[in-house]
């Protein structure tokens, strides 16, 4: 009988990780069966799911409250699957507040749990570490500094690197992408990434568009392209588009949208506005000069300011360890300020060179893993993983695998 595992991811970044993991697992376990919740990438790799990542994708405390009925519906579905199907292993990806409830239910049924992506206990709610060690059997972390955070917990922790270090590759070169956009040699490209969740799109689209209008009034020969996330639809985009910006083209502001070409757009970008999240790492790995934007519900922000203990909001800066890229947060997300930031990136070559030097350090930090995630999963399916074994071996270069 083939192995059955359950995987649960709740947003685009989790789907990316899950898809890459499933692809690697299937090359070595071709009969592996997978149930749970995921997105396009995970379903392409054989996941059977009656729900989608968007059913679990929520950012902010207030937003969670609004979505509670749907979240509990999905929780009930997954709990029944655990009880009825009894998978060999539960692999939860990010989304800790939801997934740790599921993990506790799996443990009560005698099902072992691997959690992929450490919650940000180094930023806030560090008291969760002891509970996490009880709820899961093995933690796969994306950043090397996270192993030490759990050093005294007794939890098996493995730094597996970040798959974006090898997955963030543009399908088209800068020249090819500019040709696809029919750009003239003297035109400069500004790319907009307003997030992968509807809530992010609804809060960030308007100020991003307004900044494009402001920048166009200052500089000539600028083109704007919005990279629409796979988790969003054209209907989502249309519903969030401000009524007072429907006729931007008549003002000489040319903004188009594209889906499925985000990496190529970032690789071709002269500047980018990027919603805080995994996309900031993608932009850094693709050498896109960027400004990071972050805006949530005001109550969520007020609470977050009191409990978050890290100096930066973006993953790019957290991995770099310093303020490599400009972050515009909450009230700073306004058209004139964002236009100022973009104008600097488009006119100051020294600033762009400084950014790209920092990006190379980010890339180096993410690429040297202790083990590959599929090795840990296969080991656990074989029953050989041990509690407290931190699985630290010689660093691996993913590109040299097999």
Please list the pLDDT of the chain residue by residue as tens digits (402 residues): 458 999 999 877 889 899 999 999 999 999 999 999 999 999 999 999 888 766 676 555 445 566 678 888 899 999 999 999 999 999 999 888 889 999 999 999 999 999 999 987 655 566 788 888 999 999 999 988 888 888 888 899 999 998 888 889 999 999 999 999 999 999 999 999 999 989 999 999 999 999 999 999 999 899 999 999 988 999 999 999 999 998 888 788 889 999 999 999 999 999 999 999 889 999 999 999 999 999 987 666 565 565 555 578 888 998 888 999 999 999 999 999 999 999 999 999 999 999 999 999 999 888 888 899 999 999 999 843 333 333 333 333 433 333
Secondary structure element (H or E) that encloses residue 189, with its range: strand 188-193
> Which has the closest alpha carbon to 226: 183, 182, 275?
275
CA dihedral 266, 94, 373, 77 (to 10 degrees): -120
Q: Is 92 helix (H, G, I), strand (E, B) or coil?
A: strand
- Domains defined for the chain, CATH in brackets: 4-161+369-392 (3.40.50.2000), 171-364 (3.40.50.2000)
Listing DSSP states for 15-47 in one string gives HHHHHHHHHHHHHH-TT-EEEEEB-HHHHHTTE
Residues 6+ away with beta carbon under 8 Å from 106: 6, 82, 90, 112, 113
Beta bridge pairs of residue 293:
275, 328
C-beta atoms surrounding 188 within 10 Å: 19
Cβ atoms within 10 Å of 74's Cβ, excluding its own = 20
Residues 6+ apart with CB under 8 A from 119: 96, 125, 128, 132
């Amino acid at each position: 009988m083939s192995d059955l595992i359950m995987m649960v991811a709740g947003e685009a970044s989790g789907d990316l990780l899950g898809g890459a993991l499933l692809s690697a697992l299937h090359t070595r376990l071709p009969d592996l069966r997978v149930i749970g919740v995921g997105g396009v990438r995970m379903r392409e790799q054989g996941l059977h799911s009656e729900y989608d990542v968007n059913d679990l994708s929520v950012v902010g405390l207030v937003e969670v409250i609004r979505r509670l009925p749907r979240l509990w519906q999905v929780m009930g579905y997954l709990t029944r699957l655990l009880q009825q199907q009894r998978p060999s292993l539960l692999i939860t990806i990010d989304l800790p507040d939801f997934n740790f409830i599921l993990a506790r239910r799996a443990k009560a049924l005698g099902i072992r749990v691997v959690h992929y992506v450490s919650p940000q206990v180094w930023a806030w709610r560090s008291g969760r570490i002891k509970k996490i060690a009880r709820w899961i059997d093995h933690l796969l972390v994306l950043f090397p500094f996270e192993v030490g955070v759990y050093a005294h917990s007794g939890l098996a922790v493995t730094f597996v690197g970040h798959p974006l270090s090898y997955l963030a590759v543009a399908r088209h070169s800068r020249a090819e992408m500019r040709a696809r956009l029919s750009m003239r040699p003297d035109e400069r490209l500004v790319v907009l990434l307003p997030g992968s969740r509807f809530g992010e799109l609804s809060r960030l689209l308007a100020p991003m568009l307004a900044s494009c209008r402001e920048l166009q009034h200052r500089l000539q020969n600028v083109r704007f392209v919005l990279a629409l996330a796979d988790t969003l639809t054209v209907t989502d985009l249309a519903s969030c588009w401000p009524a007072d910006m429907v006729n931007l083209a008549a003002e000489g502001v040319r903004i188009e949208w594209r889906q499925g070409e985000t990496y190529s757009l970032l690789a071709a970008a002269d500047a980018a506005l990027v919603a805080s999240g995994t996309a900031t790492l993608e932009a850094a790995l693709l050498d896109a000069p960027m400004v990071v934007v972050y805006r949530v519900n005001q109550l969520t922000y007020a609470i977050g300011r009191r409990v978050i203990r890290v100096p930066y909001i973006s993953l790019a800066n957290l991995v770099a360890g310093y303020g490599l890229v400009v972050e515009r947060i909450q009230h700073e997300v306004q058209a004139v300020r964002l236009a100022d930031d973009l104008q600097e990136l488009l006119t100051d070559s020294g600033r762009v060179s400084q950014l790209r030097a920092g990006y190379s350090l980010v890339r180096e930090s993410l690429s040297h893993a202790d083990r590959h995630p599929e090795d840990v999963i296969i080991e656990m399916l074989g029953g050989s993983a041990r509690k407290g074994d931190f699985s630290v071996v010689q660093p691996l270069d993913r590109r040299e695998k097999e």
